[in-house]
Every structure is written in C-alpha cells, then in structure tokens.
C-alpha cells in the first residue's frame, strides 16, 4: 500500500464507516484512509490474516484499531448481522463502501449457471442488500453516502472475464436506481470505478511487463494508479465537499477509458 498522507475532511471525524472487503488491496486503502480521518471504521473480509495485520498497522498509526468482522458477503444473513453489530458498537452507519469483489479470470466457455450465480453474489448482489440494511440507519442520521465499487473494465470491452464485466456494468445501473430511491432522505449514492490499480494481488497474478505497456499506452497519464488514489476519491465522495454529487460514476484511471 502506498503511504502518502490523504487529504483531511474534518466532517468525516467520528462518522461510522462500513467497508466490505476492507482487509487488503483497495479495500485496505479505504480502511486506512478513513481511519486516518478519525472515523469509526468497521470492515468485513474473508482474508483473516491480512485483515488482522491491517488492524495492527492502523492501531500503531492512529492509536485505534478498526473493527474487523470476518464475513463472506455471499452470505447475506451474515452480512446483515455484521452491519447490525457495527451499529451496536459504533452507532448508525453514515458511510457505506461496497467494495468486496473478485476478478478471477474465466473464459466464456467455462461459465456454468452455478459459477455465474456465485460471481454475481461475490461482485454485485451484496451491494444491494448492504444498502438496504443501512437505509434505516442513514434515515435516522438524516443523510449518508454510499459508494459502490465499479470498474472501467466493461468500458474497455476486455475479454477473459465476462461475468465480472457484466457484474461491474450492472453496478452503474444499481447506483443510479438507489440514488433516486434514497435521494429524498439526503443519501447520496455513487459509483467509484478504478482503472488498473497496482495492488499486491494484481501485481502477483496479472500485471506483467507486457500488460503495463498496454496500460501506459492507453492512459493519458503515464503513471501507475495506486490504491490510495482510489481511496482519496472515496474520501471526497463521503465528505460534505461532495454533498451535491449523486447518481454518478467517478473514474480513477489516469485517463485510460
């Protein structure tokens, strides 16, 4: 994770922030940057070791560890239970970051109905039910911010992961519908779509020198997009500075798409 200090938004201090998939990669950057704002941060993840390591790092940096609840977001009852645990521990959730997802590669020919359903559960379904669960809490707060993690990948028409592409494209539609549904309660809903982000997982599994050449040829800015670049946009979208921003797709891709 890059270590540049994030911008400070004083209004985020003390807010309860709930992050799915917050234990590694971009999710860990969300967890760290919101903790540095003085927010009360809770996150769920299936990566237990990485999540507990992150808790220790943030404890050393801020003096307070985020709340980690092991949870597989495919289990909606468990996800709803985690959201309730956070409410009881920290108070009503004011910021929801629907980040959890998995971009495992797969060919069109390999996809079975069971695989399709599983990938939709991992990448899309939980976002709806997390938003549904926090709605009463945000109503009590008279406002809130929901950030759904999309991707530019479907805009690029990338092959090799068709179900992931379909789920990420669907997030844009879900965001717009929820923004209309939740708007009367001063709840803002936006999509945050990264480009090629240089996380440990991506570097290990996918990002070859040949791929980096392709990325740099496509990007307007010839520099790597890092997890904190995405997290800094999330800070803005969650803050009062973005109080008139909703139903939009905010892209952080150095101008690739």
Q: Which residues of 141-152 are buried (b: 16+ CB within 10 A; e: fewer)?
A: beebbbbbbbbb
Q: What is the pTM of this model?
A: 0.96
CB 225 within 8 A of CB 198: yes
Residue 127 tokens, joined: 């976002």
Residues with catalytic function:
164
Q: How many CA atoms lie within 13 A of 155 on its CB side?
A: 16
Has residue 4 got a pLDDT over 90? no
The class (CATH top level) of 12-251 is alpha beta
Q: Domain boundaries in the chain? A: 12-251
Mean of pLDDT over the chain:
96
List pLDDT tens digits, range 101-117.
Answer: 999 999 999 999 999 99
Question: Mean per-residue pLDDT for 123-151?
Answer: 98
Instruction: Give the pLDDT band of residue 2 (cuts 50, 70, 90).
Output: low
């Amino acid at each position: 994770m890059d270590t540049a200090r994030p911008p400070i938004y004083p209004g985020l201090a003390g807010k309860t922030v709930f992050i799915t998939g917050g234990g590694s990669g971009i999710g860990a950057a969300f967890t760290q940057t919101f903790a540095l704002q003085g927010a009360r941060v809770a996150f769920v993840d299936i990566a237990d070791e990485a999540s507990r390591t992150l808790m220790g790092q943030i404890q050393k940096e801020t003096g307070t560890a985020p709340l980690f609840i092991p949870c597989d977001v495919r289990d909606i009852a468990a996800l709803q239970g985690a959201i309730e645990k956070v409410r009881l521990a920290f108070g009503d959730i004011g910021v929801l970051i629907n980040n959890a997802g998995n971009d495992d590669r797969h060919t069109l020919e390999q996809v079975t109905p069971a695989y399709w359903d599983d990938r939709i559960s991992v990448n899309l379904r939980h976002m709806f039910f997390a938003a549904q669960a926090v709605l009463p809490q945000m109503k009590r707060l008279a406002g809130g911010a929901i950030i759904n993690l999309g991707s530019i990948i479907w805009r690029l028409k990338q092959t090799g992961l068709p179900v992931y592409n379909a789920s990420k494209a669907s997030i844009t539609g879900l965001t717009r519908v929820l923004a209309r549904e939740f708007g009367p309660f001063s709840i803002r809903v936006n999509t945050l779509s990264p480009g090629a982000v240089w996380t440990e997982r991506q570097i290990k599994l996918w990002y070859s020198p040949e791929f980096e050449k392709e990325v740099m040829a496509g990007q307007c800015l010839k520099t790597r997009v890092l997890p904190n670049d995405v997290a800094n946009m999330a800070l803005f979208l969650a803050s009062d500075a973005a109080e008139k921003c909703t139903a939009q797709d905010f892209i952080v891709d150095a101008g690739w798409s």
